[in-house]
């Protein structure tokens, strides 16, 4: 028995929702450790669809504890709205089943506004990131700048006055630069005091609680958001999110030691997608890209934006296997490839006439690389709903084996439709 960390091994949207749901049923505690309400997971349980963006998946299952760790940036308004939405669907969220680290950073309305102002200004100069405009980046900047308001600060109104003063000095200077009206101290104090009583009951010393649970032998599932190529250090910088999305962050972002993390499961889509701007060596702008997008329903859960689609990039996933320490992968959406005459997999790149095995870190070089492909035979039969290897056509098995070999990690789970049971289980990560 071990704990499990789930991470995306590409640019997010790998289909983590279904796998996390399957695992959360077997876990005692589900912990988010980075990101915020920029994530989007859809869970389908007993025919009911739940859309989560900030809350950990465990929250919809009775008897599970959901935890938001210190590495997450929490928009209290988004939190309360999500709790209300779930309530309307019959799910009760109380401190009995949700705890939030008292040292988690808060996203304020000024962060959301700054995110939007920057993206708008960047649109005119062609340098926009294509963020979710949720204020994620600006909130992490304030955390690292040591001027953030943290959840626990709402409990000490006197000290909060000074903290608000400090954060406003910074933000009003930025706002003057954008020609936006300055924010009054009173307005932020009102914003925070109006929600304090509703969010403070969820606060907890999460590292301590998790340590006790670990000693008791509870099964802990760490639920990553976004993907490894959006990691602030290891991703395609600057077209990344503002947190570390790799598995190591599960430790720092929850207060649990890395030795207790256990099995690292990399969710990996059988092709590649990306939302927002940034390099994408295997992107297909032709009818095959269109086919993948339509068949794979590649539209953002949160923003509804159309995702860019392309061939599977084994060089990038091999890199994610290394930077996360991935033990095994859950391969998703194989059925989207059904019916394609032939399939390509990127195995490395050409850069200025030279062959290289990994994506270079420089933005300029990333824009210049050309993928080197191998071509595999496609299959005509449907793989939808396959539950054992024998249900798959020989060419599909060959494709999966080729992926395993190229990325250097085995398939632990193979998902063949959005339905929970349409999964080929090779290894149960909790039992590995
Ligand atoms: P931010 O996280 O809103 O700052 O956005 C930064 C980049 O990360 C943009 O390219 C977003 O499209 C991308 N991003 C953020 N969250 C997700 C996600 O959950 N899935 C896929 N892409 C995401």
333 is in an annotated binding site: yes
Pairing of strands 48-52, 41-45: antiparallel
Domain boundaries, the chain: 4-102+213-264, 106-199, 269-431
In which element (H, E) is residue 30 found? Answer: strand 29-32
Query: Considering only CA atoms, which residue is closest to atom 15 of ligand 1?
Result: 38
Residue of 38, 54, 140 with the most ligand 1 atoms within 8 Å of its CB, for mutation: 38
The stretches of 25-156 forming alpha helices (DSSP H) are 76-88, 109-125, 136-144
Tokens coding 179? 């020609």
pLDDT tops 90 at residue 258: yes
DSSP single-letter state for residue 276:
S
Q: What is the atom index within ligand 1 of the atom nearest the CA of 133?
A: 3
- Rounded to an integer, the average pLDDT of 279-284 is 98
Distance CA 408, CA 324 (A): 13
Taking the CA atoms of 363, 246, 402 and 307 in sequence, report the sign of the dihedral they define: negative
pLDDT tops 90 at residue 388: yes
CB distance 275 to 296 below 8 Å: no
Query: Considering only CA atoms, which residue is closest to atom 5 of ligand 1?
Result: 131
* Residues recognised as catalytic: 13, 41, 143
Is the omega angle on the peptide bond into residue 238 within 30 degrees of 0, that is, cis? yes
39 is in an annotated binding site: yes
Query: Considering only CA atoms, which residue is closest to atom 23 of ligand 1?
Result: 226
pLDDT tops 80 at residue 91: yes
The correct answer on CATH 3.40.50.300 for the domain covering 106-199 is no
226 is in an annotated binding site: yes
Distance CA 137, CA 53 (A): 16
pLDDT of residue 118: 96
pLDDT tops 90 at residue 237: yes
- CA distances to 35, 298, 302, 325 from 231, rounded to whole Å, are 10, 21, 19, 14
Residues 6+ apart with CB under 8 A from 215: none
pLDDT of residue 214: 96
8 is in an annotated binding site: no
Distance CA 65, CA 72 (A): 17
CB distance 160 to 192 below 8 Å: yes
Distance 37 CA to ligand 1 centre (A): 10
pLDDT tops 80 at residue 12: yes
Q: What is the pLDDT of residues 99-115, one digit of tens each?
A: 999 999 999 999 999 99
Distance 38 CA to ligand 1 centre (A): 6
Confidence of residue 32 (pLDDT cuts 50, 70, 90): very high
Distance 11 CA to ligand 1 centre (A): 8
Tokens coding 375? 């071509």
pLDDT of residue 9: 98
Residues 6+ apart with CB under 8 A from 194: none
Tell me the average pLDDT of the chain. Answer: 95
Tokens coding 82? 């999500």
Residue of 226, 228, 272, 296 with the most ligand 1 atoms within 8 Å of its CB, for mutation: 226
CATH architecture of the domain with range 269-431: Alpha-Beta Complex (3.90)
Which pTM does this prediction carry?
0.96
- Rounded to an integer, the average pLDDT of 278-301 is 94
pLDDT of residue 11: 97
Distance 305 CA to ligand 1 centre (A): 11
Confidence of residue 168 (pLDDT cuts 50, 70, 90): very high
Distance 156 CA to ligand 1 centre (A): 33
pLDDT tops 80 at residue 299: yes
Pairing of strands 65-68, 98-101: parallel
- Rounded to an integer, the average pLDDT of 247-253 is 98
What CATH number labels 4-102+213-264? 3.40.440.10
pLDDT of residue 421: 84
Distance CA 203, CA 197 (A): 11
40 is in an annotated binding site: yes
Confidence of residue 126 (pLDDT cuts 50, 70, 90): confident
pLDDT tops 90 at residue 380: yes
Distance CA 216, CA 127 (A): 50
Pocket of ligand 1 (CB under 6 A): 12-13, 38-40, 129-132, 134, 136-137, 225-226, 230, 239, 241-242, 275-276
């Amino acid at each position: 028995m071990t704990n499990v960390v789930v991470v995306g091994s590409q640019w997010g949207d790998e289909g983590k929702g279904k796998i996390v749901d399957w695992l959360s049923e077997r876990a005692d505690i589900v912990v988010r450790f980075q990101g915020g309400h920029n994530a989007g997971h859809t869970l389908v349980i007993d025919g009911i669809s739940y859309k989560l963006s900030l809350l950990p998946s465990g929250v919809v299952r009775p008897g599970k504890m959901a935890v938001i760790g210190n590495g997450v940036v929490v928009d209290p308004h988004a939190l309360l709205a999500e709790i209300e939405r779930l309530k309307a669907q019959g799910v009760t969220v109380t401190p009995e089943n949700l705890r939030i680290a008292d040292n988690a950073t808060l996203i304020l309305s000024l962060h959301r506004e700054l995110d939007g102002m920057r993206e708008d200004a960047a649109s005119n100069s062609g340098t926009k990131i294509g963020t979710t405009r949720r204020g994620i980046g600006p909130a992490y900047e304030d955390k690292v700048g040591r001027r953030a308001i943290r959840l626990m600060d709402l409990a000490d109104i006197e000290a909060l006055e000074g903290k608000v003063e400090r954060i406003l000095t910074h933000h009003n200077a930025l706002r003057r630069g954008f020609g936006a009206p300055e924010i009054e101290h009173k307005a932020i104090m009102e914003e925070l005091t109006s929600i304090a009583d509703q969010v403070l009951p969820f606060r907890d010393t999460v590292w301590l609680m998790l340590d006790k649970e670990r000693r008791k032998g509870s099964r802990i599932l760490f639920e990553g958001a976004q993907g490894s190529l959006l990691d602030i250090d290891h991703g395609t910088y600057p077209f990344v999110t503002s947190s570390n999305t790799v598995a190591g962050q599960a430790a720092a972002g929850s207060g649990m030691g890395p030795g207790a993390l256990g099995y690292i499961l990399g969710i990996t889509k059988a092709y590649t997608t990306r939302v927002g701007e940034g390099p994408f060596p295997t992107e297909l702008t032709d009818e095959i890209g269109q086919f993948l997008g339509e068949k794979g329903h590649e539209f953002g859960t949160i923003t509804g934006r159309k995702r860019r689609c392309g061939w599977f990039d084994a060089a990038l996933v091999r890199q994610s296997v290394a930077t996360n320490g991935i033990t095994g992968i859950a391969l998703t959406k194989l059925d989207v490839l059904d019916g394609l005459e032939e399939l390509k997999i990127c195995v490395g790149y050409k850069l200025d006439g030279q062959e290289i095995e990994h994506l270079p870190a420089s933005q300029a070089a990333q824009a210049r690389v050309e993928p080197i492909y191998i071509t595999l035979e496609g299959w005509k039969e449907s793989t939808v709903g396959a539950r054992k290897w024998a249900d798959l056509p020989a060419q599909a098995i060959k494709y999966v084996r080729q992926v395993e070999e190229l990325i250097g990690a085995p398939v632990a789970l193979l998902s063949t439709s959005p339905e929970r049971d349409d999964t080929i289980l090779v290894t149960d990560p909790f039992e590995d």
